[in-house]
Amino acid sequence: MAEKKKFVKYANGPSLEEINDTVEVPEDASFFRTLLAYSGPGALVAVGYMDPGNWVTSIAGGAQFKYKLLSVVLISSLVAMLLQYMASKVGIVTNRDLAQLTRDHTSKPGGFLLWIVAELAIMATDIAEIIGSAIAIKLLFHVPLLVGVLITAADVLLLLLLMKLGFRKIEVIVAMLITVILGVFLYEVILAQPNVGEMVQGYIPSIEITQNQSMLYIALGIVGATVMPHNLYLHSSISQARKYDRKDEKSVATAVRFSTWDSNIQLTLAFVVNSLLLTLGAALFYGTKTDLGRLGDLFNALQDPAVAGSIASPMLAILFAVALLASGQNSTITGTLSGQIVMEGFIHMKIPLWARRVITRLISISPVIFFTIYYHGNEAKIESLLTFSQVFLSVALPFSIFPLVYFSSSKKLMGNFANTQLVKWTGYIIAIILTILNIWLIITSF
């Protein structure tokens, strides 16, 4: 029997103190009522798996190789489920988020360096969402791209308003926006009438993926963009929002169980969205327009009868832009929370939320404004920043994923909740493979 974990109170306080231990959960309630109470954090995490960067990759994969890369989407989603399970479990069992735990086991200079890496990753994510939101605003309202970029600065007020409503309200709003994204692409895929038999076959891994260099490149892009470091920090923190008895092992086990259910359900929805994106690319654009590489290309293709066939219409394109805007706003919320988590966790520095949001957005929006002016609003040039933002995410990934597997496998920290040997070594193998893939993507990006 493993030694029972001892709960320790640390000097720098709980993670995200304003939401920690604030959401009530019922005791001895039915499965579905308890699941509903624990549902929410998974939605915030799932947002990162359906961001604008994934959109282009998935749709381009379908346009070029039809349904063959659906197996990559499936494998990536299963990997995400395992890692997010570890992240939420670490937070619930130790009462520490991943940033706090990493800082606890490093020196002050080491903690500062890791904070810089994590901040760069979060800012890189923010840049991608700024670009996605700005392009959506331009497509919907026909304003110059620079105006769209400046409008995105106004969403600094969004999270501040939502936080006053309570964390549970934030979870509900994010879940509603995810529903909008899911509904839009489900509707468009139904209209596209994909070949269901070929879709099902596409989920079976094919050796051709490793033999075709172009197919392998897009497959690696799908995998490499799936797991984002900020999601691991985020989940380890917001999983602690529920009120459970942190000193009772049975209560902790219940929290771990239902947090895992919540995470897997929401990540399944993200898997469905990414499958729909790839299916849309295959059904509409395979054999007609295989060179899709920009969000604007997708918008235009959806209303071009020569490309999308009889279902082409401005309404489909508008729905696409609405879903894009919803995705950008979702990621704004999670990016701000992640930034607060790593700042407080790594360098024990707390600043007002409004200051955190303004500083992060100003730093992130500055290069986008500069390049928008420099390139005279050229969308193709601006979207190239998405590639460089993915490079930062790739660099940061090993600094979060290896500590996560280590901490969640530690008997000293986790007691009876430590990973089994199978889960532990599966986690390490995944970490090594993802690191290698991301290094390869960095090299090919340059």
Is residue 347 very low, low, confident or very high in pLDDT (cuts 50, 70, 90)? confident
Question: How is residue 353 written in tokens?
Answer: 């939320």
Average pLDDT over residues 186-193: 87
DSSP state of 180: H
Could you give the percent of the chain with pLDDT greater than 90? Answer: 29
Note whether 178 and 46 are within 8 A (CB).
Answer: yes
Identify whether the C-beta of residue 331 lies closer than 8 Å to the C-beta of residue 125: yes
Report the mean per-residue pLDDT for the chain.
Answer: 83
- pLDDT of amino acid 188: 85
Task: Look at the chain and count its residues.
Answer: 446
Handedness of CA 389, 346, 87, 353 (dihedral sign): negative
Highest mean pLDDT among 4-13, 150-159, 195-204: 195-204
- What pLDDT digit, counting tens, does each position of 378-413 carry? 777 777 676 666 666 767 788 899 999 999 999 999
As a whole number of angstroms, the distance between CA 118 and CA 236 comes to: 15
What was the pLDDT predicted at 264?
A: 96
Q: Which residues 6+ apart lie within 8 Å of 439 measured at CB? A: 394
Summarised one tens digit per residue, pLDDT across range 74-104 is 998 999 999 999 999 999 999 999 999 999 9
Q: What is the mean pLDDT of residues 417-441?
A: 88
Assess whether pLDDT exceeds 60 at residue 1: no
Residue 3, pLDDT score: 42
Kindly indicate the confidence band of residue 414, based on its pLDDT and cuts at 50, 70 and 90.
Answer: very high
Q: Is it the case that residue 358 has pLDDT exceeding 60? A: yes
- Domains with residue ranges and CATH for the chain: 31-445 (1.10.4160.10)
354: pLDDT strictly greater than 80? no
* Residue pLDDT, tens place only, 136-178: 898 889 888 888 888 887 766 666 676 677 778 888 888 888 8
Of 152, 150, 144, 56, nearest to 383 by C-alpha is 56
Pull the structure tokens for residue 310. Answer: 């009889």
**In 3-state terms, what secondary structure has residue 286?**
coil
108 backbone φψ class: left, alpha, beta (φ>0; ψ -120 to 50): alpha
Q: What is the torsional sign of CA 145, 150, 156, 157?
A: negative
State the pTM of this model. Answer: 0.87
| Positive or negative torsion for Cα 437, 64, 83, 41 | positive
pLDDT at 254: 95
362 or 62: which carries more pLDDT confidence?
A: 62
For residues 217 and 444, the answer to whether their CB atoms sit within 8 Å is yes
**pLDDT for res 275:** 93
pLDDT of residue 416: 93
Percent of the chain with pLDDT over 70: 87
User: pLDDT-derived band of residue 333, with 50, 70 and 90 as boundaries?
Assistant: confident
CB 125 within 8 A of CB 230: yes
Burial class (CB in 10 A: 0-12, 13-18, 19+), 6: exposed
At residue 5, the pLDDT reads: 44
pLDDT at position 348: 80
Asked if 88 contacts 260 with a C-beta cutoff of 8 angstroms, the reply is yes
Token pair belonging to 375: 């390139």
Q: What crossing angle do the helices spanning 213-224 and 70-94 adopt, rounded to 10°?
A: 20
The confidence score (pLDDT) of residue 406 equals 96
Extract the tokens encoding 223: 């995998």
User: Can you tell me the mean pLDDT for 41-68?
Assistant: 84
